[in-house]
Amino acid sequence: MESTKLMSEPSCPFCSMIQSGDVVIDGNLAAVILDGFPVTIGHSLVIPKRREADFSKLSTDEQSEILSLASERMRQLQSEDPSITGFNLGINVGASAGQTVEHAHLHVIPRREGDVEDPRGGVRWVMPSKADYWS
């Protein structure tokens, strides 16, 4: 197993939040923080404590804990807010995929009935010309 020592970068907002203890859920290898630019109320990020930009380069233990914490956060959000009826989960890897912070993270985005006119396709809308496959 890889070292669990926090690899920090002073300019990394996620490292700063972990170091300051500004977390919603604190795990051994990962933590949950609130997104600084939320797209919905409760939008959270699950981040490894070890700074690595590429999710695929995280250890299997890190990846597993990230998924476990995402599930825990989803349950927590739904218990706090019964208007949440679904979630989008997403990971951007690389600038071409939209990654803007070079620290791997999983978005947990709560969804509510009627928050958009037609939610079909979900994450497929990252490629708008391919999203509407049902028409």
Active site (catalytic) residues? 105
- Taking the chain, what is the end-to-end CA distance rounded to the nearest angstrom? 47
Q: What is the CA radius of gyration of the chain?
A: 16
d(CA 47, CA 66): 7
Please, what sign has the CA dihedral across residues 63, 59, 37, 116? negative
Beta bridge partners of 26: 31
Both tokens of 106, joined, read: 């999983």
User: Which residue, chain included where needed, has tokens 């669990």?
Assistant: 4
122: alpha, beta or left, given left = phi > 0 and alpha = psi -120 to 50? left
